[in-house]
Structure 1
């Protein structure tokens, strides 16, 4: 079947309707390496923190949820006079605590480099002005989306990211399911996390866009987060392809 597949591919590339993935430049590949290295270190940091939490919980020592709360557990491990920890446990857990600190140092170093790159790139600076889109997200988009103009519209770009529902329509009846989750999972995760942050800030904030507050009042939080991430993706596509500056969620909602 390999010969038949090769023949079919050769025939397909001659069609005018075919779309091709642009080749990434060495600079884009390098930027993607920085992002992937950071993602790897963040995963290792999470694993190490979970290990420390699990070991200390066996001794009845528990801290609040979140990376910021782990400092109290590390302090307990390094206090040699704390009788709750046997010497053998303190010896082992000190190695884990040192690893957490080392990973945090490396992650901060990479993030400072990403922020510096964003400041020197015009497109990334404009993307970072969108609420919910920070330095990491803008750098990821610039590195992982080599040609935004390859999409016909912002809707196509959002669908490529997997932020649109699956369609199960037949016989004139439309049935929409869960989001497709197609495309790059890292970009989709960053946009959803950014949208979630915007929604949390919008709760009880009288300066929040009226349409967003009204949507939160009638739809579940996670559904609104996906909808906002979809809108953010379309705004990103518009800024990258048409230029200009971000005008605010209120005005973008009116225009869409």
Structure 2
């Protein structure tokens, strides 16, 4: 932190913003509440300072605005701020905790995302929501039909093969209004398929325009969804010191517990972004189960480790490779495995 800059902790919200800072010359403690309309005006008339905010909804937008005004913004993970909250939880105490956390050298800041990166993440979130809605509607339809003795196999493909025959058989037993409603629910599921495919096509179009996504899409197990999500979620690759740190950010490293100098490794930490970790693990599983030539390292790992351990290890390697290609602007190369002399 630059010692010459004053530090301001901000607890942001939809309408009201709470500010906390201590004057560097007089030591006076200031608590200021600002409306949304007056927020940027306050910092436009203020000398450059270090601003700490929690990385939450709207924080990246305000971080870009404040950076354009000449201030330095540090976005902090919520879990790193919580230990500094003292007393009852309110806006003033939260702002003071953010002010304290922003000055801690061990608290790592979150990279500020660009509008383009947030836009692609918006597509991913909308697609993920549609997939959840589709699954819920499909399971609800199967559950309703099972009440009348029509049990269908799991999966959309299995339901698509039998749904028309099932509804035809039930048409003689149930009122027409119920059959019509069931047909409408199935049509709604089919429409969701079209909407999901449309979003996926737009994601692929964005991949064709981004060089970083194209580079990491060459990695086995990384497809359009994984490539675009990784670049957007990563933000600035330079915010991570190494690929290992990015893999830890994705929650693909073991949890540690220990005392007295003894460290015990547990399962993966599952920290960071769940969506990115899920995509990487699914991609790694596809390489292990479907790839014709998964590679010598992967084959040897699969022979000496359980399948799930091997999948997570490969996902960890994919995350480190993604960071290396983005941070150093390199292209993927299938390096030969070193052999003993």
- What range is the shorter-chain TM-score in? 0.7 to 0.9
1:117 aligns with 2:203: no
Verify the 8 A CA contact 2:152 2:158 in the aligned structure 1.
yes
Give the Å deviation of 1:69. Answer: 2.2
TM-score (norm 2): 0.66
1:128 aligns with 2:217: yes
Counterpart Cα distance in 2 of 1:107 and 1:239: 29
From 186, 190, 207, the equivalent of 1:97 is 186
Verify the 8 A CA contact 1:158 1:233 in the aligned structure 2.
yes
CA RMSD for the aligned pairs? 2.5
Give the Å deviation of 1:123. Answer: 0.7
From 288, 293, 312, the equivalent of 1:199 is 288
Q: Greater share of strand residues, 1 or 2?
A: 2
| Structure 1 gap segments, 5+ residues each | none
1:61 alignment partner in structure 2? 150
SS at match of 1:152: coil
Q: How many residues align?
A: 249
SS at match of 1:174: strand
1:86 aligns with 2:174: yes
| Structure 2 gap segments, 5+ residues each | 1-86
SS at match of 2:247: helix
Q: Greater share of helix residues, 1 or 2?
A: 1
Counterpart Cα distance in 1 of 2:300 and 2:124: 36
Q: Which has the larger radius of gyration?
A: 2
Verify the 8 A CA contact 1:77 1:94 in the aligned structure 2.
no
TM-score (norm 1): 0.86
1:232 alignment partner in structure 2? 318
| Higher alpha-carbon deviation: 83-92 or 62-71 | 83-92
1:165 alignment partner in structure 2? 254
1:219 aligns with 2:308: no
1:106 alignment partner in structure 2? 195
2:327 alignment partner in structure 1? 241
